[in-house]
Structure 1
Amino acid sequence: MTATIHSIPRRAEPSLQPLMALVADGMNSVNEVILGRMQSRIPLIPALAGHLIAGGGKRMRPMLTLASASLLGYGGSRHYKLAATVEFIHTATLLHDDVVDGSGMRRGKQAANIIYGNPATVLVGDFLFSRSFELMVEDGSLKVLKILSGASAVIAEGEVDQLVAQRQVETSEERYLAIINAKTAALFAAACRIAAVVAERSEADELALDSYGRNLGIAFQLADDAIDYDSDASEMGKDQGDDFREGKMTLPVILAYARGTAEERTFWQEAIAGDRNSDADLAQAVALIHKHEAVNATRERARYYAQRAIDAIAAFPPSAAKSAMTEAAEFAVARRY
């Protein structure tokens, strides 16, 4: 990365609380839509969907839709269904991801695929995708439909690209950033941008919110990468070392491999190929990552993108929404879970 990394002026402990307080009333309306639209005459569908949806996730993406609408002074109600749409898209991708990855935990409890099996998990993910498109069509805006459907396609491309890159130890930092821009940041960007569409604001405002969401999404994913090698399962809500055992070339590994000795590179080649995945091997991987300051470097890159997110909304007038969105970017980097 060629850009200069700037540190965000740090608060004592950045929090999501201002963002959550800002959108609390609106999220009640969003949750009503979510609970209503995940229902089905087939009992397994709401049971499986509810296992994940009620599982205590941060709900960052729908909250960002509501916060962006607040930033723009939007007083209508269209954004409630659209925020639910964003959450359905996100939940569907999580269900599919857990099947692809063979994950054992999600949000601190057993992943849905472990309880209900892979076929049901995939199909309920498909159901939630379908519900999301119903909600898009109901909104009636072709522009909103284009933004959200386009993001859904990009997310799928990013997931496939990550699958192709899996166990490829020579994956570059540039390639990895392209993957997370697609699989994570695209939905953050869309979640924010659609607020400007429903508020009938300018293309410049749309692009500013798109940039905020995209950079926040990259920062969020990079922080996740760091957390996987710097926290335990009780903090993360998933098994420590999942990325390592799945052979994922996340940024801490990419940096540790690039900075490693010939002997260390041999370890990484064997580990990423799947030949070294014991607890002792994970401990060695964590030690090498910390030896080469790869977690700290990953968090520094996350701070760079978080600052870009903050800069993207700099032109909007001061407000509770702007302040909450700024602190949300700080929180994305500083969090431990």
Structure 2
Amino acid sequence: MAACNRAIVARMDSPVALIPQLAAHLVAAGGKRLRPLLTLASARLCGYEAGHGVPRHVNLAACVEFIHTATLLHDDVVDESQLRRGLASANAVFGNKASVLVGDFLFARSFQLMTEDGSLRVMAILSNASATIAEGEVLQMATQNDLSTPMDRYLDVIHGKTAALFAAACQVGAVVAARPQAEEQALQAYGDNLGMAFQLVDDALDYAADQGELGKTVGDDFREGKITLPVLAAYGAGDETERAFWRRVIEQSSQDETDLDHAMDLIARRGGIEITLQRARHYAHAARDALGVFPDSRLRRLMGDIALYTVSRGR
């Protein structure tokens, strides 16, 4: 990870002063670096041995982080978010135009790294993931404020916006190690299920977390009218008075300052958080089980523990 962080900082450099300034703001905000960590761990699990120079898995881990950071920059502009990882978001500090353009720069950097790697297979996996992320974000916009959104459509949204990059981050670890297709597919399944669990927990935390712990503004999903499982669960189980409330605040976007607290109360009363976390646990266990094709090792157990830890964030 130290080598990956050095690669990230080096590739964020540019003679255009605003780019490294905004990049430094992002680096200072920290973050779990979970996606690049998964690329490094997956490659090591597959026995990848680096040659001379910067190892392939290090550059590809940086590539994965650039794709993720670019999407965050764009998402915060679209969502008009003011906080990211507990600090003012880049768009709040530098403005929307700069955030969008630097996001474009990071996408371009990610494709430079893919090209330098030289593997068409790697490029196919990561470029397909990039397209799927964009599709997921557009699909989320299309379902916004629509309480009739079916569960399958909601799951398609979170697969696109989150799980696809988790899956790709893990899959390329097997590719660089030239492992058999069964191991590549196992890591793809691990990442996909882990990403689904991760996003479900995030959706639950938006209605259950302390803002300081969450690192972003609690209730953002509510204010934006996003359709998430806690809302779908509460709406589906609610009486007519409760459903009328949800239609007003989500579909009609008519909210006052007391509505978020009432929404959180209804979600808690109807078990929306537990329903969401239960489904997240299902995906987390599926992620851990997908690693069963690999011999038992400390690293395999740690990667399984990551999946279970992801769900524990929602407790």
TM-score by length of structure 2 reads 0.97
Q: Which residue, out of 68, 72, 87, partners 2:46?
A: 72
Residue 215 of structure 2 aligns with which residue? 237
Instruction: Report matched runs for 1:92-171 at 5 Å.
Output: 92-171=70-149
5+ residue gaps in structure 2? none
Deviations 1:221-249 (A, max 9, x none): 00001111111210100111010000001
Residue 45 of structure 1 aligns with which residue? 19
3-state SS, counterpart of residue 217 of structure 2: coil
What fraction of aligned residue pairs are identical, expressed as a percent? 56
Q: Is 1:304 aligned with 2:282?
A: yes
Mapped to 1, the partners of 2:116 and 2:252 lie a distance apart of 46
Deviations 1:27-50 (A, max 9, x none): 011011100000000111011122
Q: What's the RMSD between the two structures over aligned residues?
A: 1.0
Return 37-46 or 81-90, whichever deviates more: 37-46
Give the conservation status (yes or no) of the 8 Å contact 1:165–1:249.
yes
Mapped to 1, the partners of 2:138 and 2:126 lie a distance apart of 19
Residue 89 of structure 1 aligns with which residue? 67
Give the conservation status (yes or no) of the 8 Å contact 1:235–1:336.
no
Q: Which residue, out of 7, 10, 17, partners 1:33?
A: 7
Runs of 4+ aligned structure 1 residues displaced above 2 Å come to 273-279
Mapped to 2, the partners of 1:283 and 1:62 lie a distance apart of 36
Mapped to 1, the partners of 2:296 and 2:269 lie a distance apart of 42
Compute the displacement of 1:278 (Å): 2.7
Compute the displacement of 1:55 (Å): 1.0
Residue 35 of structure 2 aligns with which residue? 61
- The aligned amino acid for 2:56 is R
Give the conservation status (yes or no) of the 8 Å contact 2:140–2:157.
yes
Return 311-320 or 190-199, whichever deviates more: 311-320
Deviations 1:261-288 (A, max 9, x none): 1111110011113543333100110000
5+ residue gaps in structure 1? 1-26
Deviations 1:6-53 (A, max 9, x none): xxxxxxxxxxxxxxxxxxxxx011011100000000111011122123
Compute the displacement of 1:172 (Å): 1.6
Deviations 1:54-92 (A, max 9, x none): 312111100000111111111112100000000000000
3-state SS, counterpart of residue 258 of structure 2: helix
TM-score by length of structure 1 reads 0.91
Return the structure number with greater relative CO, CA threshold 8 A, min gap 6. Answer: 1
Residue 16 of structure 1 aligns with which residue? none
Q: Is 1:187 aligned with 2:158?
A: no
Residue 249 of structure 2 aligns with which residue? 271
Give the conservation status (yes or no) of the 8 Å contact 1:245–1:274.
no
Mapped to 1, the partners of 2:254 and 2:273 lie a distance apart of 21
Residue 153 of structure 2 aligns with which residue? 175
